Homo-oligomer: A and B are copies of this chain.
Amino acid sequence: MFKEHIILRIPGPTPIPPNVERAMARPMVGHRSGEFSKEFAATAARLKLVFQTEQDVFVLAGSGTAGLEAAVANTVSPGDTVLICTSGNFGDRFTKIAKAYGANPLVIEAEWGTTINPDDVRTMLGAHPEIKAVFATHCETSTGVLNPIREIADVVRPTDAILIVDAVSSLGGADLPMDAWGLDIVVTGSQKALMLPTGLCFMAVSEKAWQRVEQNANPRFYFDLRAYKKQLAANTTPYTPAVSLIYGLQEVMNMIEEEGVQNMFARHKTMQRMVRAAIKALGLRLYTEDAISSPTVTSVYPVEGTFDPEQLRKVLRNEFNIAIAGGQAHMKGKIFRIGHMGYATPVDMLQVIAALEIALVQVGASIELGAGVRAAQEAYLQKQEVTAHV
């Protein structure tokens, strides 16, 4: 029943606003036409607001991984030593990409569910002054932690290394002021907090990192950011852009500008607090501590043996058309993850929590119906008071 009524509460893709869908249904045009070029360049420029940067924001047709690869391909030369800070599945992907490009990766590994310690980064940079680049993940989607990028940047900035940040599942949902924090490359995807379908990645590059791009000896063509920079100056892209997605992005930028980025961050924080309060009230265990958790996704694991998270997901999907995510890699089948980003509001959290409670009862968990919703409602009302007192 209602096959298309899938309520996406996974950490991306996220629901698409109807005005964005309509914008994407605009007739196709020649992507080299003057009219499209003007719209493209204006839209790309508006992304600076979300990146909080004065630098160009490049728009590539590709997934988030394409953006991460572009970051590596443009800044890492074969034989370069790089430092990978990994706290989960997506941190590990950086290692794979770096290896594919012939780099020599050193790795700082934080236990899943915890964050990178900036002191460890300082120690490594001190011991290995040959490190050319540090890779870090802002929101580690596989666990729901938010790494201390600001503190890591403070450590990397005084060195010759550049800091490359995977902000795929955070940008737009969590504050990440690229210029203010001195980040060198920030990469994100279209299908998370930015409310678009999959298919685009966005990235910005600092002046410090740009020197690397110019000097880099790696073979690259589609991912050559020099070509993107040159063509952006001419209001276009080096290769065929995803025209419909750009039309959708225009509409997304209208929405973001109307809401205001700080309000957007605050909305995500409210949803985060509601979901976490509910999980605690239901007696389930949060995979991450409050202080290091992401405003965009929350991971939960059951008290050992009380229920099967995969069974829970099936009930939510089959009975309520609600999609939540499972665990990845070694956490597959052990946790579930609720996405709360993009085109979502506090009432959407009330809905997913209320349905989750029913599903928990149905898979045999011993919980008090309504307790999670009440905690989320209280968290919401608390936020109201906070706002009122400002």
Contact = CB atoms under 8 A, between A and B. Distances in A.
Interface residues on A, range: 35 or more
B374 A347 contact: no
B381 A358 contact: yes
A5 B258 CA distance: 14
B350 A355 contact: yes
Query: Dominant SS at the A interface?
Result: helix
A34 to B, nearest CB: 28
A362 B370 CA distance: 19
Contact of A343 (B2, B255, B343): B2
Contacts of A25: 25
Nearest to A374: B370
Contact of A358 (B18, B357, B369, B377): B377
Interface in A352-366: 353-355, 357-358, 361-362
Interface in A248-265: 255, 258-259, 263
Given A350-B355, A358-B380, A345 B369 contact: no
B355 A1 contact: no
A210 interface: no
Interface in A323-347: 343, 345-347
A183 to B, nearest CB: 28
Given A347-B321, A350-B355, A354-B351, A369 B377 contact: yes
Nearest to A353: B354
A188 to B, nearest CB: 21
A124 interface: no
A373 B380 CA distance: 16
Contacts of A320: 345-347
A371 interface: yes
A224 interface: no
Interface of A: 1-2, 4-5, 7, 17-19, 21, 25, 255, 258-259, 263, 267, 320-322, 343, 345-348, 350-351, 353-355, 357-358, 361-362, 368-371, 373-374, 376-378, 380-381, 384
Given A2-B345, A361-B381, A373-B374, 8 more contacts: A1-B345, A2-B259, A5-B343, A347-B351, A354-B376, A369-B373, A369-B377, A370-B377
